[in-house]
Amino acid sequence: MLREYTAQPLLTDLYQFTMAYGYWKCGREQTNAVFELYFRENPRGGEFTIFAGLQDCLLFLSKFKLREEDVNFLRKVLPPTTEPGFYDYLRNIDTSAVTLRAVPEGSVVFPKVALLEVEGPLAILQLLETPLLTLVNYASLVATNAARFRLAAGPRKRLLELGLRRAQGPDGGLSASRYSYIGGFDGTSNVIAGKLYGIPLFGSMAHSYITSFTSMSEVKVQTLKPASEGEPEVNFVSLCEKWLFQVCHLLQMPQNRTNSSEFAAFISYAMTYPGHFIALVDSYSVMSSGVPNFCAVSLALHELGYRARGLRLDSGDLLEQSLRIRGCLRTCANQFGVSWLAAVPIIISNSISLNDLIDLQQQDNEVDCIGVGTNLVTCPLQPSLGCVYKLSQVDGKARVKVTEDEGKMTLPGKKAVYRLYGPDGSPFLDLLTLLKEPEPKANEEIECHALTRREAGFRVTAARVGTLHQVYYQHGQLSESLCTTSEIRTHAQNSLDNLAPKHKHLQDPVPYQVAISRKLRDLLNDLIKKSNPSTQCPE
């Protein structure tokens, strides 16, 4: 099921409407223009970004229409000198004259390469700026953050997104769940995200469930039906008590040190979900109470034909405890002949950071699954990707922003973007050219120039050349079918897998090259000279 994004045309900055009025006032509102949306630096010192948010942009464009109540509100907030004819203009605008070209959502992307290119009437494109930036910035940042967490954890650990309660409001929480999944997480605790996007859901219990019990007398239901059909119900409480005695004896732990209220909570939950029993074992003492209680209930479930699904740790030295817990599970599995118990998944949570996952890879541990919340969804080390939306052409004429900060200088003209691949099948360079230039060809020398314009040109030969942009929206209609979240996730993982490992290092990655063609370089230099004749641009 695909969610229809609810962003409205008024989800923008006021100055977009004041500029639109300026265009209308001087008769330029229909002038053809081209804008590009891109970012200047990869997040957190990395060398790649995962592009996300395209689908929401397309849904926003397809439904873009100012309602009468929107126009009436604008009458109240725009200066009283605004002419009535402008409001009539706003009532009638739509995006039928807008064309959007973009990189496929989920692709690995790099700085200065346009993620979106929109072409159409100048005033309308101005109104689209802030919404498009809003829909792409956070989505791409979270997807990239999730991909970095996945790289840190390695391919075999399951990653679960648990950040809804820590996210910046409900929209941020929902977006975080979706784009974390696209970036490589395996599931979420967010139920509405599961409904809307088909993301696998995960959930067990909180400490409040366990601490709500005070004694075994609160376990009102005593019996449990075995998994096999036709078997009579068994007194499950007595069965668990029998197993607790045996487990404590085997592990040489005094049974009177186990917490009876925790035991009651585990039994109650196991009878509620006998085929999906997952217990939180750190409400009291992990090794003296939580683990023996879990093993006893799990062995009782096994006797009735069920399997426990896992146990979760949320405090303490998670890695060291995972080793001790696994030892207990293996001891019980060997002694009681229950082989699956030795491999019960151990799940950890508790403000897990990227550095924690790096440490986890470097240290001995028995962790199978990791729940991540705050440090994933809030992106605390870089809260914004910093995408920008810049004018590149007006009325068929290339435009450039010239600034003393060369990193903020724009690239002029309507462009094509090509991805060049080496013999091993991995990309090694993105090439920006003017749209009217001939396409570069595989197995032929291709002239390239660095973005800084201060380095001499260089030549490369690609084993394969791919066109990065495709048309997604034109004539008021979608040009491509919308992908499911799962399909976008698959593309993201394939795109990232195809990137050379040297560009994916979490520390000191090798820079990925983005270059421009000679014609684009010459156009840029020419426009700079015209904007400031004293500027000297080295060839």
**Mean pLDDT of the residues in the chain:** 94
Please answer whether residues 419 and 430 qualify as being in contact, where contact means their C-beta atoms are separated by less than 8 angstroms.
yes
Asked if the model's pLDDT at residue 222 lies above 60, the reply is yes
Spell out the domains of the chain, with CATH numbers in brackets: 14-147+381-531 (3.20.140.10), 204-367 (3.20.20)
Give the gyration radius of the chain's Cα atoms. Answer: 29
The answer to which of 62-66, 80-84, 237-241, 531-535 has the lowest mean pLDDT is 531-535
In sequence order, what E strands does 77-211 have? 99-102, 108-109, 116-121, 158-161, 187-188
Report pLDDT for 464.
98
Residue 456 has which token pair? Answer: 């001499």
Q: Tell me what pLDDT residue 314 has.
A: 95
- 6 — pLDDT class (breaks 50, 70, 90): low
Residue 261 pLDDT level (bands cut at 50, 70, 90): very high
What does the pLDDT read at residue 404? 73
- Report percent pLDDT > 90 for the chain: 90
Q: Across the chain, how many H-helices and E-strands are there?
A: 16, 23
How does residue 116 score in pLDDT terms, banded at 50, 70 and 90?
A: very high
516 phi and psi, to 5 degrees?
-125, 160
| pLDDT at 1 > cutoff 50 | no
pLDDT tens digits for range 45-103: 899 999 999 999 999 999 999 999 999 999 999 999 999 999 999 999 999 999 999 99
How does residue 536 score in pLDDT terms, banded at 50, 70 and 90?
very low
The dihedral formed by the CA atoms of 252, 255, 256 and 262, expressed in degrees to the nearest 10: 120
pTM as predicted: 0.93
CA-based nearest residue to 324, from 262, 367, 372: 367
Q: How far is Cα 215 from Cα 212, in angstroms, rounded to an integer?
A: 10
What average pLDDT does the segment 288-311 reach? 97
pLDDT score recorded for residue 407: 78
What residue ranges in 344-482 does DSSP mark as E strands? 346-348, 369-372, 388-394, 397-398, 415-421, 427-434, 445-450, 458-461, 464-467, 470-474, 477-478
Provide the strand spans (E) within 203-344: 223-224, 234-235, 278-280, 310-313
Query: What would the pLDDT profile of 430-458 be if each residue is shown by its tens digit?
Result: 999 999 999 999 999 999 999 876 567 99
Helix (H, G, I), strand (E, B) or coil at 201: strand
- Confidence class for position 403, pLDDT limits 50, 70, 90: confident
Is residue 428's pLDDT more than 90?
A: yes
Q: What is the pLDDT of residues 333-382, one digit of tens each?
A: 999 999 999 999 999 999 999 999 999 999 999 999 999 999 999 999 89
What region does 144 belong to: left with phi over 0, alpha with psi -120 to 50, or beta?
Answer: alpha
What is the pLDDT confidence band of residue 534, given thresholds at 50, 70 and 90?
A: low
Mean pLDDT over residues 292-308, rounded? 98
Residue 532 pLDDT: 73
Q: What is the largest CA-CA distance in the chain?
A: 94
Burial of 76 (0-12, 13-18, 19+ CB in 10 A): exposed
383 vs 2, which has greater pLDDT? 383
Asked if pLDDT for residue 535 goes beyond 90, the answer is: no
| pLDDT at site 539 | 43
Q: Over 60: is that where the pLDDT of 4 sits?
A: no
